[in-house]
Structure 1
């Protein structure tokens, strides 16, 4: 669509191009919480394509909110992290909504007192990848409007939004089964709920296809392996506390696991994230195991590096900018208190087929 002269673009123009009413366009421009995401996306696409600039300097949030505090972990700066895509999406949408952002990173030595000081001085909060019960408790104590991105409040006191990890686990496992694989190993670490959900999807796909599943042999839990097989409780602690890197310590474990025969008899491996898959590709290469000729390997997250590994990695993709946009609009609902309940939303994921998966060789 060719960009028009902004002076000639009216709400009627936008409504006609989007195929909606003028009132609907107005609601989208003013951040009304009751416009469906499909309609909102359609209107926003027309706005972007026409180059329309709203004359309104900021949207009406019902409360005097000018700034949103982002609370996250120091993993946010990791170059191989999808959290950077989420942050980029939050920045873009907050700019469109005329909202300022204030960043607070929880590091290893950050105290609860420091976190509470930040929470108590915040008008609204986005928690990115943080769902620690102590942090959530502080937010509930101060009754601050909050949405968790990529996390959950098990007490359902704080709304959250995440990729549909269970569906992703099911999609990638179904793909391997479709390729003829019956012996599939899962490499994971069960210290976060989002990782447990991927395991649930893996198990569900096996059950639906009537493939036997034994949690003791078909799942390699990295934190348990560090403790029980390597006798390395320090590594286990680092994995559980998020200090072992974005691959959950896989680069320190998987060479030993391959040599120890953990993958013998398996034709395919589902790695709980791309970073774990990268470590496994390295370990297989070190032991002259060809991928995908001898074993297929799949990941989860569709990080940029997934197109550059050898072979390129089959994985699961999420539209993180859209997830970030939806999270901000959920936060607007919390600010406006347009409902008396919390919500837990999942956004869709998709399978990206690349060269690391192939038909079962045996």
Structure 2
């Protein structure tokens, strides 16, 4: 129940109606995707409690700021996302406030406090789980939220922008299988991330399509950074029957794979073929230039920024999930396999 003299909030309405905050928001905004009985119950409560939407007031108080929140910033991957967001924001006359929470609850609370102080017009959350209390907090203040490359499935009604990770994993492994590789390994990303699981599933689908079983010994878990690519590739190359090709689920891990191959006394691609994922600028300048799956990172950031700006202007957006296409970029790090990939042990 609301306190006399204080405006009622949609969280309170949702609690009384026994529905979610996004459902109340959809009723308030006249959305059609709410059951008739639920809509009637919510509308009755809105009238009874004298609820007044705050969107118009929020629109009058626009600050010209967008909040872009990363879990981590120590990657060229993040810079590409930022580039796309900043380009769209600049064209719209908006500034971008960049934060990194590093998976820390304390840092996340500090960011939320700072967000409340500066009153940003919208929030872009990158590769992170949406905290349970974040969406209601933003809803109360009419601050739109868009998730970029979500770590998991976003809450209902929250728009997200990602890439076709499954198709990218499929394309990478299909390319290697097409060259004749039958021992193809995967160095994947963190398993709690949706993109990591999708790339693994695409890898598995490509093998199955070629009539090949996925050997669990050839699937290793990294963290998208170079050190983990080196560590996991070294373990793979020390197997009694090592892979002839390695699909690394990020370009940075692929560079770590390069180093593991070099230290083993082997060469890319003569002894081990390598495919990455992302197509960062460093991929073209690697030695040899890296075959990789292009993820349209800047375009993803730009699409998310356009969406959050539209929502901040009170516009409806079509669909809540956008996936931009990945594509395979073939360079010089892949070749047909040789009969022997590892020199004899001494």
Taking structure 2 as the reference length, the TM-score comes to 0.71
Q: 1:354 aligns with which of 323, 327, 331?
A: 331
CA deviations 1:161-210 (Å, max 9, x no partner) are 01211111111111112211222111113231111111111112222222
Match of 2:144 in 1: 145
Aligned partner of 1:291 in structure 2 is 268
Pairwise CA RMSD of aligned residues?
2.6
Q: CA deviation at 1:342?
A: 6.1
Pairs within 5 Å for 1:228-267: 246-247=225-226, 249-259=228-238, 261=239, 264-267=241-244
Distance 1:340 1:329 in 2: 10
Name 1:209's counterpart in structure 2. Answer: 210
**Structure 2 stretches lacking a partner, 5+ long:** 1-57, 340-346
- CA distance 1:141–1:97, shift in 2 (3 Å): same
Pairing of 1:1-362 with structure 2 (within 5 A):
63-64=59-60, 65-73=62-70, 75-76=72-73, 78=74, 80-107=75-102, 110-121=106-117, 122-134=119-131, 137-143=133-139, 144-151=143-150, 152-189=152-189, 190-214=191-215, 216-222=216-222, 246-247=225-226, 249-259=228-238, 261=239, 264-339=241-316, 343-362=320-339
Which whole-Å CA distance do the structure 2 matches of 1:106 and 1:342 have between them? 28
Q: 1:294 to 1:104 in 2, by over 3 A?
A: closer
1: CA distance, partners of 2:137 / 2:291: 43
User: SS at 1:282's partner residue?
Assistant: helix
What is the distance in 1 between the residues matched to 2:266 and 2:319? 48
Cα deviation digits, residues 116-175 of structure 1 (max 9, x gap): 3134343433434242242x5313333130111121444334211012111111111111
* Partner SS for 2:237: helix
* Conservation of the 8 A alpha-carbon contact between 1:67 and 1:102: no
User: Secondary structure at the residue paired with 1:310?
Assistant: coil
Counterpart contact for 1:131–1:153, Cα < 8 Å: no
Q: Confirm or deny: 8 A CA contact 1:163 1:347 kept in the other structure.
A: yes
The verdict on how the C-alpha distance between 1:349 and 1:293 changes in structure 2, with shifts beyond 3 A counting, is same
**TM-fit CA distance, 1:221:** 2.1
Distance 2:164 2:123 in 1: 19
TM-score, normalisation: structure 1 = 0.68
Structure 2: distance between partners of 1:141 and 1:200: 35
Alignment partner of 1:181: what SS? Answer: coil
Stretch deviating more after TM superposition (64-73 or 306-315): 64-73
**Alpha carbons of structure 1 residues 292 and 112: separation in structure 2 relative to 1, 3 Å:** closer
Alpha-carbon spacing, 1:128–1:138, altered in 2? closer, same or farther (3 Å) = closer
Number of residue equivalences: 274
The residue that corresponds to 1:4 in the other structure is none
Distance 1:345 1:188 in 2: 23
Q: Distance in 2 between matches of 1:201 and 1:337?
A: 38
Alignment gaps of 5+ in structure 1:
1-61, 223-238, 240-244
Q: Distance in 2 between matches of 1:184 and 1:249?
A: 18
* Compared CA separation, residues 253 and 207, structure 1 to 2 (3 A): closer
**How far apart are residue 106 of structure 1 and its match?**
1.6
Q: Using the alignment, how far apart are the partners of 2:292 and 2:166 within structure 1?
A: 14
- Alignment partners' CA distance in 1, 2:256 and 2:186: 14
| Higher-Rg member (1/2) | 2
CA contact under 8 A between 1:300 and 1:315: conserved in structure 2?
Answer: yes
